[in-house]
Copies of this chain bind each other. A is one copy, B any other.
């Protein structure tokens, strides 16, 4: 899909789990791994894999630390992630506008 309707839609965000992760991180500022897991109903492995994809793209930063003796992984959206996600949401908005509500 090189051009047309959805030409440059960022497919990295266009995956349900990652859309959920980005939405939560942006609306909450930051979040730890367990909170994300609980909100999204994902397994450890699944959430970890999606976070890694976002981290490798430079969209999410991950910090590992401890709260007392318990390990805690905190994720937050980077500046690049914020910009890219804003662009993605604008594309979705444009798409929604393209569909005439009278036809729905």
Chain A contact residues, CB within 8 Å of chain B: 1-7, 9, 11, 14-17, 19-20, 23-24, 26-27, 29, 39-42, 82, 85-86, 89, 92-93, 95-96, 98-100, 103-104
Is A23 a contact of B92 with CB atoms below 8 Å? Answer: no
Separation of A23 and B1 alpha carbons in the complex (Å) = 14
B contact residues around A7 at 8 Å (CB): 41
Q: Offer 13 A-B interface pairs, CB within 8 angstroms, sorted by A.
A: A1-B20, A3-B41, A5-B20, A5-B39, A6-B19, A6-B40, A14-B14, A14-B15, A23-B99, A26-B100, A27-B103, A89-B96, A92-B96
Other A-B contacts than A1-B42, A6-B40, 11 sampled, CB-CB below 8 A, are A1-B20, A2-B41, A3-B41, A4-B41, A6-B20, A7-B41, A14-B14, A14-B16, A26-B100, A27-B103, A92-B92
Is A23 a contact of B98 with CB atoms below 8 Å? Answer: yes
Contact of A104 among B9, B26, B92, B95 (CB under 8 A): B26
B contact residues around A98 at 8 Å (CB): 23, 27
